Amino acid sequence: MTPGGQAQIGNVDLVKQLNSAAVYRLIDQYGPISRIQIAEQSQLAPASVTKITRQLIERGLIKEVDQQASTGGRRAISIVTETRNFHAIGVRLGRHDATITLFDLSSKVLAEEHYPLPETYPADAGTCPAECHCSVY
């Protein structure tokens, strides 16, 4: 093994992750988009884009949707992000209310609930155990 071999392997893994993230971002921003368009915009080799998109499809992050019109060669297949399989929850705590929001991966709001917070607090809300070292205003 060459000196610094571990760092070299780590750098290769990092480059792969960055390339995958760049491809996913392009699909999310410009989808439906073909692999050749991704290769042109990302400046990655078409073979690299094919490998990355195959991995993203296997993980359920993107999907093929339809074929684009032929420009004389093989018809390009359009790719879009798959937003139904993954969700994120956002919680916003305000002075008078709390909001909980469910998003898909494209930041589309799927559900949202608002909860009012009580104006008064229980009498013991200001008491903390001695080891807590906190204060309540």
Which tens digit of pLDDT belongs to each residue from 16-71? Answer: 999 999 999 999 999 899 999 999 999 999 999 999 999 999 999 999 998 766 66
Domain spanning 5-81, CATH architecture: Orthogonal Bundle (1.10)
pLDDT at 122: 61
pLDDT at 17: 94
Q: Using one digit for the tens of pLDDT, what is the confidence trace for 30-43? A: 989 999 999 999 99
Determine the residue type at 26. Answer: L
Close Cβ partners of 103 (under 8 Å, ≥ 6 residues apart) = 87, 88, 89, 90, 109, 110
β-partners of residue 127 are none
Could you tell me the pTM of the whole model?
A: 0.66
Taking only Cα atoms into account, the Rg of the chain, rounded to an integer number of angstroms, comes to 24
Mean pLDDT of 81-99: 92
